[in-house]
Structures are given as C-alpha cells and as structure tokens.
C-alpha cells in the first residue's frame, strides 16, 4: 500500500455485532475516509447497514480487495477462512476471528499492550486480534507485569451472551420475557436456559475437560504478553448479561511490591481506568461502566492475604465495543498513521 492521506476501508461481516460496532467506532471517532465498503455474504447483500443508513451491504464474494487499504474481518471465522488471506495480499487485514490467532507468523495484537508488534508488518498483511476476554485480561496484566513480573494467573471469566452473537442476545431477552410470564425457556443457543442462570462452560469442552474458550484465553494472553511459559489457570462462565465481560483475577508475582505501587501502575496503564474504592462508582459492573467503550475497568484491587506477592482484582470491559471494535480500529489507525 502506498502512503495515503485518506484510507479506503472495507468491513467484512458487517451484519454481525462486531461488524456493526466497527462501523460505529469509525464514525464516532470521525475518522476521515476516502471510501467505506460494508460487506457480507449473499444473505445480507443490499440491506442497509442500519435502519436509517444510506450505506448498504455489498457481496464479499464479488469484492476486489485491491480497492482498499484496510479490511476489517469481524469475528465470523467462515468469512475469514475463505477471504482473509487473499485480501491480505492487497491490504492490511485486521481479523477478529479465531482463524489465525495461533499462527506464529501472524501478529496477535492488542493495541494498548503490544502495538510494537506491528513494526514488523509491511505495507500489506494479516493481523489477528485476540478474543475479548483475552484483550481485557492482557490489558490489565501488562502494567502489573512491568512492575513485579508475573509468575502465575488464576482467572474466572463471566462472559456476556453477546460473545455468541445477536441470536444469543435475542434468546436471553426471549427467555427472560417467557420466564417472567410463567413459561418455560427453550434454551437453544447454549443448550440450556441462560436467563436467570449461570453456565460454567463457554464453547465446547475438549477431551481434557478444558473448554476451547479457556484454552484460547491462556494461549492468547501468553502471546500478547510475550510470556510463553506463564502459568494461567482459567474457568470461563457464561452469564445472563447482554454486554460486558467480567473477570475475577488472582495474580502472583516474582518480585515484592507495595499495593500503592500496583494501584499507581494500573491508574497509568494504557487503555485502563482504575476505579478507586472511595469513589462513588466503588467498582465496575457490566451494566454500568462496561457500556463505556474505550476503557478496560479495574476495581476491587487488594492484596492476596493467603500468599506473598499476590494481588486480587476485578475487571470489566465491553466485549463488543472496547475489546473487539475499539481494538480493531486502534490497530488500523496505528498502521495508517505509520504509513503517512
């Protein structure tokens, strides 16, 4: 790609929650664009991106990616597997699916944590983005690792249904209405009722009893932090929340530190906002601060009283806007600004 003042952009999978959020993120940041193409498979072709939008969906199968400088692939693995590598011959492809995350030759990037990885990317190429829980976890752990050196992480994630797409959100809403009306929920999206329930598995279980989401969480977090041997023990849980992943984190460190030092580095951390226990907010929750799209929120920070050099804290972030769309657009801005 030659240096351009105004980039040409394509968003693939625009009918998905993340695709729509990327379009919204581009517009809210008021990024000047030469062109914006909304693309999806044939089922969505011709539909407006939003109800009052003049931008309509084009057919990804017929699109010539040499027409754009950046292409966002928005979380749908089938589209990424079919089109992303070919598109990357012509443009920067920023892929939010799991299709390429574990390929060593493909950079895995969280803009607030390891943007220096983009220095090795040329004028075109493929960049993978981690899953939303991994983005939130790595963003919170990065400054603490710089402070005291991570030794081990125990984490339980409480993941919103939007992580499974629009249909899962509609099911939670429908089940909630049904149960409040005295009817039995159907439980299709997750194989069982999600309304007023907690399901201790996200994605499928593998032969060793670990879920795919738990394995992705530790593999992606290790890659982003450049800590391939970091011990991470994870439990991923689905909860009846529309937006906002929450994480209970228990981290152990190699070096001793003062709690005030930990609070200071979290307060200064890129993409982070520390919720002071003496503030009105007290601690972050999905229904409140997670709707703010540009920060990962950390609260309930306290020393682990059962071990030395241990820290416990709570993390909340909007999984669709902050951890997916905001990260994707931030990566694109770094690449475009570098080329100018």
Those residues whose C-beta lies under 8 Å from the C-beta of residue 209, and which sit 6 or more positions away, are: none
pLDDT value at 8 more than 90: yes
Say what the pTM is.
Answer: 0.94
Q: What is the DSSP code (8-state) at residue 184? A: P
Lowest mean pLDDT among 146-160, 161-175, 232-246, 286-300: 286-300
Token readout for 166 is: 């629009």
280 Cβ contact partners less than 8 Å away, ≥ 6 residues apart: none
Pairing of strands 8-12, 231-238: unpaired
Q: With 60 as the cut, is the pLDDT of residue 4 above it?
A: no
Domains detected in the chain = 8-130+324-339 (3.40.50.720), 133-319 (3.30.360.10)
Phi-psi region of 152 (alpha: psi -120 to 50; beta: other; left: phi over 0): beta
Average pLDDT value for the chain: 93
Which ranges of the chain would DSSP assign to H, the alpha helix?
17-28, 77-87, 132-148, 166-180, 212-225, 259-268, 327-339
- Give tens-digit pLDDT for 229-267: 999 999 999 999 999 999 999 999 999 999 999 999 999
Check residues 234 and 31 and name the one with the higher pLDDT. Answer: 234
**Tens-place pLDDT, residues 293-325:** 689 999 999 999 999 999 999 999 999 999 999
> Residue 206: exposed, middle, or buried by beta-carbon count in 10 A (0-12, 13-18, 19+)?
exposed
């Amino acid at each position: 790609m030659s240096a351009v003042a105004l980039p040409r952009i394509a968003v693939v999978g625009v009918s998905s929650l993340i695709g729509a959020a990327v379009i919204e993120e581009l517009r809210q940041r008021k990024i000047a664009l030469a062109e914006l193409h909304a693309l999806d498979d044939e089922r969505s072709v011709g539909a407006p991106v939003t109800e009052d939008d003049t931008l309509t969906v084009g057919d990804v199968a017929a699109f010539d990616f040499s027409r754009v400088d950046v292409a966002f692939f928005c979380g749908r693995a089938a589209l990424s597997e079919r089109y992303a590598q070919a598109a990357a011959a012509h443009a920067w492809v920023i892929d939010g699916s799991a299709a390429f995350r574990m390929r060593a030759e493909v950079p895995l990037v969280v803009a607030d944590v390891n943007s220096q990885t983009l220095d090795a990317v040329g004028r075109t190429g493929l960049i993978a983005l981690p899953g939303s829980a991994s983005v939130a976890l790595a963003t919170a752990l990065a400054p603490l690792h710089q402070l005291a050196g991570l030794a081990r992480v125990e984490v339980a994630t409480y993941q919103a249904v939007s992580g499974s797409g629009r249909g899962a959100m509609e099911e939670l809403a429908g089940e909630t209405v049904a149960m409040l009306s005295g009817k039995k929920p159907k439980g299709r999206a997750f194989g069982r009722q999600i309304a007023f329930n907690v399901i201790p598995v996200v994605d499928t279980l593998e032969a060793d009893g670990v879920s795919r989401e738990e394995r992705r969480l530790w593999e992606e977090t290790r890659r982003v932090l450049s800590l391939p041997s970091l011990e991470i023990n994870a439990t991923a849980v689905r909860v009846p929340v529309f937006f906002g992943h929450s994480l209970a984190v228990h981290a152990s460190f190699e070096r001793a530190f003062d709690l005030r030092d930990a609070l200071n580095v979290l307060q200064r951390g890129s993409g982070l906002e520390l919720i002071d226990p003496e503030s009105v907010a007290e601690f972050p929750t999905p229904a409140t601060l997670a709707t703010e799209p540009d920060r990962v929120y950390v609260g309930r920070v306290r020393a682990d009283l059962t071990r030395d050099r241990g820290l416990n804290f709570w993390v909340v972030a909007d999984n669709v806007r902050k951890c997916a769309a905001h990260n994707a657009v931030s990566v694109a801005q770094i690449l475009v600004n570098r080329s100018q």
